């Protein structure tokens, strides 16, 4: 019996809320909060007749620490699930510390305003020290480790699929399949077709910034950075088929390199069609991916925010998206002195997700792990004061919950390796 405050009411949050409402014996009360309360009210009204979970709603500006503190103190939750924008991670963490409440999110912090001089100075130092230039990294949230530990609180970072499940796959491989892991390739394939000329499957601001940034991977104890989309491979994905995939920087590489120190190389690949890439390059060339405000007819407009308003809402893609996703990790390493390979992954069908929760599979594969992570915290299966990523906890109960609630694992001990 737990009370949970969920901040966010977009596509991923909607999935997480649907799944929480399927386990009313744990999620006995939920408060859905967002800047736009009408969205929360609509979702709560849809779910109320179908669940025993008590649903309430609230309006909150998650950029305002005091508003979040006031809401937490009013609702008194056992856990705050941050499924809003990664820009808001730090303000919500600050509010949780002020109120003595556990915290979790689905993506690590990045700033909304990358031109802010104070942030820029810290960022540029990190680029020099760490060797990669992505705007998002764990350092800002890892700085809260001692604060959460001293307060006796747990903060769970990045509990979606990637990051999230992919890190649990790594912990599972380390625990059950290998004595030492040498290489990890994380493969994220979306074989779905939504029928639009161009649309993003999750928040456009986050998605487009992520894929237009330089790629990077971890090899022999250091970061190697490459121009965006400059390393391409083809892979034959189970139940999807042959797809082109490109090496990207991704946040879980950073924590995995720290927590699996013997690993020699970690790479992350994501599939893209040529139409998507051509649209993205055109938008980047004309400045539409910029986060720096421009003046237009007397108003300050952020180009990527304006673009977001023009693109289809990712939450609306469910009815028209057909096909499957395939996300997982391929490992090489040693077991009992012998070379070994192992592949653990999930295949998820867009239309199956839509018929269950009204969502496409990209939102589903992020929202279900968020619920399962919350389940681990609320039932005490993951409980340790401090700030942690998923691979730092026991993967077994988490993967068991994923198997049960919609994202069952598949395994291969003879996979085709990525060159």
Residue 346 lies in a domain: yes
- Helix 303-310 to helix 204-212 angle (10° resolution) is 120
Which is it for strands 79-82 and 54-59: parallel, antiparallel or unpaired?
A: unpaired
Total domains, the chain: 1
Question: pLDDT, tens digit, for every residue of 388-403?
Answer: 999 999 999 999 999 9
Residue 229 lies in a domain: yes
User: What's the pTM?
Assistant: 0.93
Can you give the residue range of the structural domain that contains 250? 165-359
With the C-alpha atoms ordered 301, 366, 198, 33, is the resulting torsion angle positive or negative? negative
Residue 384 lies in a domain: no
**Structural element, H or E, at residue 392:** none
Residue 100 lies in a domain: no
User: How many whole angstroms separate alpha carbon 178 and alpha carbon 173?
Assistant: 6
pLDDT of residue 289: 85
CATH number of the domain within which 215 lies: 3.30.360.10
> Which stretches of 225-360 are DSSP H helices?
251-259, 274-285, 303-310, 350-357
Question: pLDDT, tens digit, for every residue of 288-332?
Answer: 888 889 999 999 998 988 998 888 887 788 788 999 999 999 999
Peptide bond preceding 163 in cis form (omega within 30 of 0): yes
Return the structure tokens found at 266: 């970690």
Residue 156: strand pairing partners: 104, 388
Residue 75 lies in a domain: no
Residue 398 lies in a domain: no
**Structural element, H or E, at residue 348:** strand 338-349
Residue 159 lies in a domain: no
> Which stretches of 21-164 are DSSP H helices?
37-47, 65-75, 89-99, 117-130, 139-142, 145-151
**pLDDT tens per residue, the chain (419 residues)?**
899 999 999 999 999 999 999 999 999 999 999 999 999 999 999 999 999 999 999 999 999 999 999 999 999 999 999 999 899 999 999 999 999 999 999 999 988 888 889 999 999 999 999 899 998 899 999 999 999 999 999 999 999 999 999 999 999 999 999 999 999 999 999 998 888 888 887 677 777 777 788 999 999 999 999 999 999 999 999 999 999 999 999 999 999 999 999 999 999 999 988 888 888 888 888 998 888 899 999 999 989 889 988 888 877 887 889 999 999 999 999 999 999 999 999 999 999 999 999 999 999 999 999 999 999 999 999 999 999 999 999 999 999 999 999 999 999 999 999 99
Residue 243 lies in a domain: yes
User: How many whole angstroms separate alpha carbon 71 and alpha carbon 95?
Assistant: 9
Return the structure tokens found at 114: 């990358």
User: How many whole angstroms separate alpha carbon 336 and alpha carbon 344?
Assistant: 20
């Amino acid at each position: 019996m737990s009370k949970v405050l969920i901040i966010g009411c977009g596509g991923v949050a909607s999935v997480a809320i649907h799944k929480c409402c399927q386990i009313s014996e744990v999620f006995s009360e939920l408060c859905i909060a967002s800047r736009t309360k009408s969205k929360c009210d609509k979702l709560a009204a849809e779910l109320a007749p179908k669940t025993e979970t008590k649903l309430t709603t609230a309006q909150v500006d998650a950029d305002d620490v005091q508003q979040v503190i006031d809401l937490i103190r009013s609702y008194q939750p056992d856990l705050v699930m941050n499924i809003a924008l990664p820009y808001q991670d730090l303000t919500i963490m600050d509010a949780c510390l002020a109120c003595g409440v556990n915290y979790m999110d689905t993506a690590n912090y990045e700033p909304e305003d990358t031109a802010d001089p104070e942030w820029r100075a810290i960022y540029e130092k990190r680029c020099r020290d760490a060797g990669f230039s992505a705007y998002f990294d764990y350092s800002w949230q890892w700085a809260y480790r001692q604060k959460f530990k001293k307060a006796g609180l747990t903060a769970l970072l990045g509990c979606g699929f990637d990051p999230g499940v992919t890190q649990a796959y790594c912990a599972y491989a380390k625990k059950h399949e290998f004595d030492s892991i040498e290489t990890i390739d994380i493969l994220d394939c979306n074989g779905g077709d939504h029928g639009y000329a161009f649309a993003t499957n999750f928040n456009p601001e986050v998605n487009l910034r992520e894929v237009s940034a330089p790629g990077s991977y971890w090899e022999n104890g250091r970061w190697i950075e490459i121009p965006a989309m400059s390393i391409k491979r083809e892979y034959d994905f189970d139940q999807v088929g042959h797809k082109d995939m490109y090496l990207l920087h991704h946040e879980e590489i950073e924590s995995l390199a720290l927590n699996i120190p013997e690993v020699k190389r970690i790479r992350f690949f994501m599939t893209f069609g040529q139409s998507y890439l051509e649209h993205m390059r055109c938008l980047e060339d004309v400045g539409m991916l910029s986060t720096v405000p421009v003046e237009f007819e007397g108003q300050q407009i952020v180009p990527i925010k304006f673009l977001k308003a023009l693109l289809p809402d990712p939450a609306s893609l469910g009815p028209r998206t057909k096909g499957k996703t395939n996300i997982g990790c391929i490992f090489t390493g040693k077991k009992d002195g012998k070379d070994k390979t192992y592949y653990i992954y999930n295949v998820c069908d867009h239309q199956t997700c839509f018929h269950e929760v009204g969502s496409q599979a990209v939102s589903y594969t992020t929202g279900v792990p968020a619920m399962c992570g919350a389940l681990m915290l609320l039932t005490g299966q993951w409980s340790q004061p401090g700030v942690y990523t998923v691979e730092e906890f026991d993967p077994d109960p988490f993967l068991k919950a994923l198997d049960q609630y919609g994202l069952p694992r598949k395994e291969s001990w003879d996979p085709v390796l990525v060159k």
